[in-house]
Amino acid sequence: MTETPRFTPTRRAVAAALAGFVPAARLLAAPAANTPRPGFLWGTAISGHQSEGNNVHSDAWFLENLEPTAFEDASGDACDSYHRYGEDLDIAASLDLNCYRFGIEWSRIEPEPGRFSIAALDHYKHVLEGCHRRGLLPMVTFNHFTVPLWFADRGGYEVADGADLFARFAERTTAALGPLIGMATTFNEANILLLRKALPRFATDAGAARARNMIETARRRRSAPAFSSYLFADPDRVDPILRDAHAKAYQAIKAGPGDFPVGLTLSMQQIDGVGPNAAQIQAGVEAMIYGEWIDAARHSDFVGVQTYSRLRFNDDGLMPAPEGAELTAMGYEYYPAAVGATLRYAARHIDKPVYLTETGIGTDDDRRRIAFIDATLNELRRCIADGIDVKGYIYWSLLDNFEWTRGYAPHFGLVAVDRHNFARTPKPSARHFGAIARRAHGGRP
Ligand code: BGC
């Protein structure tokens, strides 16, 4: 169990408290998180919207319940982790993990523009304290895809001052929670829209048409012509504003209180060029999907690599998976070697500590999950043997949870969740992953 060191509030924290954001007494009572980080992080990841349930002030909630919608299910109660987070933390601790990556929900903390909820901040304070009590280093994602509905109404990250509003949220949240945070990332998969742009199939298929329809309907229903929901937004308009938002939020979080590394995570799939122009194709696609985010990562404290598969491109664009290849429940290729390729890419291009902040497999066959975990481990070992300083392996996900437009069908969890009574049942893969972490004892694989 983590010792609870004393917390000396900074001038900024006291100023924030005096301004009425957080009662000073609470700040003074808050334990600090500035405990030494374990040598290697063994953890699981989860996001707010996908697990908490009833995230009713978010853009995603509105869109899921719209007619027409691009979502196969509405998130509803999700895993009810907003109330059952203690059980989730107990499971993570029982697996001998030392890190818990989770997201905080902006729309709970700031349900109306400029109105910050002390109760919501308190909730996350309890989650953070729960992590420390169980020896789990909390890695906090400030924005995992969802935004407040009011923010979507005014144009989301497609309007320039969206960056300032995100930075303000980051500042207020840090004022309340900073001393308890172990590590933080601003955006989850900051380049996800660039990746979508590189996959032309997404832009032409029925799913894209459904999404366009949904957003048009949202604009009418909300009387908000600028309505922009991050996952469905225009990549070219969002990308520069998101980089500005990352830079400003990074500054706001680093200003404290609290002293912890702040980074970002990137969606990094292995890119294979095919055909006589393979090398140029690969370089071109990589340039397209990472854009200027490699540089943004270089100016952060660390980068989180998130890898699920590989993508093959020839001169005509994205190719289907090779004939006979095993596909996961998401329809893409089972290809754990992508983990090694992307960790190498990150290490080669970004001279900052590298964490594997997400990888996992959607499957109903838990034996394939165990195989995927073992294959990931081998990739990590090879990278480390080659001198790459990978600092953590965080599995997506602790729980079977809400898989965005795919609803509840794909199962990524180490732990099954009963959709009627929320009972959690660890799968054999959970015990497998836990046994690996236990053997490593906070060290490298
Ligand atoms: C996202 C998660 C998602 C996972 C599996 C990642 O891109 O960060 O929110 O559930 O992939 O698809």
pLDDT single digits (tens) 30-64: 445 555 577 999 999 999 999 999 999 999 999 99
Report the separation in Å between the CA atom of 47 and the middle of ligand 1, taken as the mean of its atom positions: 9
12 pLDDT more than 60: no
Beta-strand (E) ranges in 33-98? 41-45
Cβ atoms of 116 and 172 within 8 Å: the answer is: yes
Which is nearest to 79 in space by CA: 301, 411, 443?
411
pTM: 0.92
How far does residue 277's CA lie from ligand 1's centre (Å)?
A: 31
For 47, counting Cβ atoms within 10 Å of its Cβ (0-12 exposed, 13-18 middle, 19+ buried), the class is buried
Let me know: does 139 contact 184? Beta carbons within 8 Å.
yes
pLDDT band with cut points at 50, 70 and 90 for residue 13: very low
**What is the arithmetic mean of pLDDT over 238-246?**
98
Residue 428 has pLDDT above 60, yes or no: yes
Ligand 1 pocket member 47 (CB < 6 A):
yes
The pLDDT value recorded for residue 28 is: 35
Is residue 403 within 6 Å of ligand 1 at its C-beta? Answer: yes
In whole angstroms, give the CA distance from residue 308 to residue 290.
16
Number of the ligand 1 atom closest to the C-alpha atom of 265: 8
Phi, psi values for residue 438, rounded to 5°: -60, -45
| Cα(183)–Cα(180) distance, integer angstroms | 9
Cβ-contact 24, 174 below 8 angstroms: no
pLDDT given for residue 202 in this prediction: 52
Percentage of the chain exceeding pLDDT 90: 87
What pLDDT score does 2 carry? Answer: 27
Q: Which domains does the chain have, with CATH numbers?
A: 34-440 (3.20.20.80)
| Average pLDDT of span 321-344 | 97
- If you measure from the C-alpha of residue 49 to the centroid of ligand 1, how many angstroms do you get, rounded to a whole number? 12
pLDDT band at 205 (very low <50, low <70, confident <90, very high): confident
Q: Which ligand 1 atom sits closest to the C-alpha of 330? A: 12
Question: Does any ligand 1 atom lie closer than 6 A to the CB of residue 402?
Answer: no
Residues 404, 287: Cα–Cα separation, whole Å: 27
| CA 241 to ligand 1 centroid distance, Å | 22
pLDDT given for residue 19 in this prediction: 35
What is the structure's pLDDT at 29? Answer: 37
Element (H, E) at 348: helix 337-349
Burial per residue of 310-340, b for 16 or more beta-carbon CB atoms within 10 angstroms, e otherwise: bbbbeeeeeeebeeeeeebbbebbbbbbbbb
User: How does strand 424-426 pair with strand 415-417?
Assistant: antiparallel
Distances (CA, A) of 106 to 150, 393, 406: 11, 26, 23
Averaged pLDDT for residues 217-244 = 97
Residue pLDDT, tens place only, 119-163: 999 999 999 999 999 999 999 999 999 999 999 999 999 999 999
Q: What percent of the chain has pLDDT over 70?
A: 91
Contact 185, 138 (CB under 8 A): no
For residue 408 and ligand 1, the question of a CB distance below 6 A is answered with no
CA–centroid distance, 275 to ligand 1, in Å, is: 30
Rounded mean pLDDT, 242-261: 98
431: CA distance to ligand 1 center in Å?
Answer: 22
| pLDDT at residue 183, rounded to an integer | 98
Tens digit of each residue's pLDDT (9 = 90 or more) over 387-427: 999 999 999 999 999 999 999 999 999 999 999 999 999 99
